[in-house]
A and B are shown apart, each in its own frame.
Chain A
Amino acid sequence: MTVSGGRRLHLAAALDGSGWHPAAWREPGARPAELLTAGYWADLVTEAEGGLLDFVTFEDALSLQSDRRQHPDTRTDRVRGRLDAVLIAARVAPLTRHIGLIPTVTVTHTEPFHVSTAIATLDWVSSGRGGVRVKVSARQDEARHFGRRELAAGDNAIPDLFAEAADYVEVVRRLWDSWEDDAEIRDAATGRFVDRDKLHYIDFAGRWFSVKGPSITPRPPQGQPIVSALAHRDVAYQLLASSADAGFVTPKDAASASAIVTEVRRWQEAAGRSGEPVRLFADLLVFLDDSAAAAARRRARLDDQAGAPYRSDAAIFTGTPAELADLLRNWQSAGLTGFRLRPGAIPHDLLQITRVLVPELQRRGAFRQAYESPGSSSLRSLLGLPRPASRYAAARGLEASL
Chain B
Amino acid sequence: MKQVHLAAHFPGVNNTTVWSDPRAGSHIEFNSFAHFARTAERAKFDFLFLAEGLRLREQNGKIYDLDVVGRPDTFTILAALAAVTDHLGLAGTINSTFNEPYEVARQFATLDHLSAGRAAWNVVTSWDAFTGENFRRGGFLPQEARYERARTFLATVMELLDSWHGDEIVADALSGQFLTRAGAGKFAHADDHFDIAGQFDVPRSPQGRPVIFQAGDSDEGREFAAAAADAIFSRHATLEAGQAFYADVKGRLAKYGRSPGQLKILPAATFVLGPTDEQARELAHEIRLQQVTGPTAIAFLEQLWNRDLSAYDPDGPLPDTDPLPGENTTARGRASVRMYRDPVATAREWRARADAEKLSIRELIIEVTGRQSFIGSPATVAATINHFVQADASDGFILVPHITPGGLDEFADTVVPLLQERGVFRTQYQGTTLREHLGLEAS
Contact = CB atoms under 8 A, between A and B. Distances in A.
Interface of A: 23, 25-27, 30, 32-33, 36-38, 42, 61-65, 72-84, 86-88, 90-95, 109-114, 117-118, 120-122, 124-125, 127, 141-142, 144-148, 179, 184, 186, 188, 190-196, 199, 208-214, 216-218, 305
A76 B102 contact: no
25 contacts: A36-B202, A61-B201, A62-B102, A73-B182, A76-B177, A90-B75, A90-B80, A91-B83, A111-B99, A117-B76, A120-B72, A120-B73, A125-B30, A141-B199, A145-B197, A147-B194, A193-B66, A199-B56, A209-B135, A211-B134, A214-B63, A216-B53, A216-B55, A217-B70, A217-B73
Interface string B174-186: 1011111111110
Contact of B106 (A37, A84, A93): A84
A146 B178 CA distance: 27
A73 to B, nearest CB: 8
Contacts of A95: 83
Contact-residue size bin, chain B (C-beta under 8 Å from the other chain):
35 or more
Q: Label chain B's interface by main secondary structure.
A: loop
A199 B199 CA distance: 41
Contact of A194 (B65, B109, B116, B199): B65
B198 A118 contact: no
B63 A84 contact: no
A217 B29 CA distance: 11
A81 B203 contact: yes
A180 to B, nearest CB: 12
Contacts of A113: 54, 134-135
Given A145-B102, A196-B63, A124 B30 contact: yes
Most B CB within 10 A of own CB, among A30, A81, A190: A81
A87 B110 contact: yes
Given A90-B76, A90-B79, A111 B68 contact: no
Contact of B79 (A23, A77, A87): A87
Interface of B: 19-20, 28-30, 34, 53-56, 62-63, 65-73, 75-77, 79-80, 82-84, 98-100, 102-103, 106-107, 109-111, 113-116, 133-136, 138, 164, 168-169, 171, 173-174, 176-185, 194-203, 205, 293-296
A74 B203 contact: no
Contacts of B180: 76
A212 B132 CA distance: 9
A217 B72 CA distance: 5
A87 B106 CA distance: 10
Contacts of B201: 61-65, 81-82
Given A76-B177, A146-B102, A92 B110 contact: no
Given A193-B66, A196-B65, A125 B113 contact: no
A204 to B, nearest CB: 10
Given A84-B107, A94-B30, A191 B77 contact: no
Contacts of A117: 72-73, 76
Nearest to A64: B201
A356 B116 CA distance: 34
A32 B176 CA distance: 11
Contacts of B55: 212, 216
Contact of A211 (B71, B72, B133, B293): B133
A25 to B, nearest CB: 7
Given A144-B198, A217-B72, A121 B181 contact: no
A179 B28 CA distance: 13
Given A91-B80, A114-B73, A124-B30, A26 B113 contact: no
A372 B180 CA distance: 48
Contacts of A186: 19-20
B83 A209 contact: no
Nearest to A213: B134
Given A91-B114, A142-B198, A193-B69, 12 more contacts: A25-B173, A65-B201, A84-B75, A87-B76, A87-B114, A114-B98, A117-B76, A122-B76, A190-B295, A191-B20, A199-B63, A218-B28
Contacts of A94: 30, 34, 80, 83-84
A216 B83 contact: no
Contact of A210 (B84, B133, B181): B133
B54 A62 contact: no
B77 A76 contact: no
Contacts of A42: 83
Q: Pick from B76, B115, B168 the residue with the most CB of A within 10 Å.
A: B76
A104 to B, nearest CB: 13
Contacts of B65: 192-196
A38 B114 contact: yes
Nearest to B20: A188
B412 to A, nearest CB: 21
A184 B404 CA distance: 15
B28 A217 contact: yes
B195 to A, nearest CB: 5
Contacts of A188: 20
B63 A194 contact: yes
Nearest to B21: A188
A122 B74 CA distance: 11
Given A87-B114, A199-B56, A26 B75 contact: no
Contacts of B138: 210
Contacts of B20: 186, 188, 191
Most buried by A among B98, B102, B116, B136: B136
A144 B69 contact: no
A339 to B, nearest CB: 28
Contacts of A112: 136
Contacts of B62: 196
B198 A72 contact: yes
A32 B171 CA distance: 6
Contacts of B99: 111, 114
Contacts of B106: 62, 83-84
A36 B113 contact: yes
Contacts of B67: 193
Contacts of A120: 72-73
Contact of A80 (B34, B98, B102, B184): B184
A378 to B, nearest CB: 14
Contacts of A82: 201-202
Contacts of A118: 73, 75-76
Q: Which of A61, A84, A144, A208 has the most chain B CB within a 10 Å cutoff?
A: A84
B202 A76 contact: no
B19 A93 contact: no
Given A62-B201, A193-B67, A32 B178 contact: yes
A323 B28 CA distance: 46
B30 A76 contact: no
B83 A92 contact: yes
